[in-house]
């Protein structure tokens, strides 16, 4: 069966510091991968998605970037965090359909 992992689960970072959040999927090959941000406990905003290694599409111009160095690994990064980057970050995967499965999420607080 497929599983999706995210880490860390919780992160507190100062403004201006770098960020790296990791997402990995097990039990499947060549999944579609997605990064979402959920602010204030409501609404999911799609940040990035990837249909293959090295293929990243950005949905919203912002202070973040994403990379997919391996088939089942998806990384969300920032060089310098802003206060507005605080939120709950969710990674999801799907095969070639719309049914997405989510990881447990990372709660990021920028202080």
Partner 1 sequence: AQTVTQSQPEMSVQEAETVTLSCTYDTSESNYYLFWYKQPPSRQMILVIRQEAYKQQNATENRFSVNFQKAAKSFSLKISDSQLGDTAMYFCAFGQGSNYKLTFGKGTLLTVNP
Q: Which is nearer to partner 1, 91 or 110 (CB)?
A: 91
Residue 40 is a binding residue for partner 1 (CB under 8 A): no
Beta-strand pair 19-26/73-78: antiparallel
Please report, as residue ranges, which positions from 42 to 81 form the binding site for partner 1 (by CB under 8 A): 42-44, 46, 49, 51, 57
How far from 73 is each of 20, 63, 85, CA to CA, in Å? 12, 21, 22
Q: Report how far Cα 71 is from the mean position of its chain's Cα atoms.
A: 15
Residue 104 is a binding residue for partner 1 (CB under 8 A): yes
Rounded CA separation 24/56 (Å): 16
Residue 92 is a binding residue for partner 1 (CB under 8 A): yes
Site residues, partner 1 (CB under 8 A): 32, 34, 38, 41-44, 46, 49, 51, 57, 88, 90, 92, 94, 96-102, 104-105, 107
């Amino acid at each position: 069966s497929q599983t999706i992992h995210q880490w860390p689960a919780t992160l507190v970072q100062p403004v201006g510091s770098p960020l790296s959040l990791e997402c990995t999927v097990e039990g499947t090959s060549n999944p579609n991968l997605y990064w979402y941000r959920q602010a204030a406990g409501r609404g999911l905003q799609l940040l990035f998605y990837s249909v293959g290694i090295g293929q990243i599409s950005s949905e919203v111009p912002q202070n973040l970037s994403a990379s997919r160095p391996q088939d089942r690994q998806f990384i969300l990064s920032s060089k310098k965090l802003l206060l507005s980057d605080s939120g709950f970050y969710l990674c999801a995967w799907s095969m070639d359909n719309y049914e997405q499965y989510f990881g447990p999420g990372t709660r990021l607080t920028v202080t």
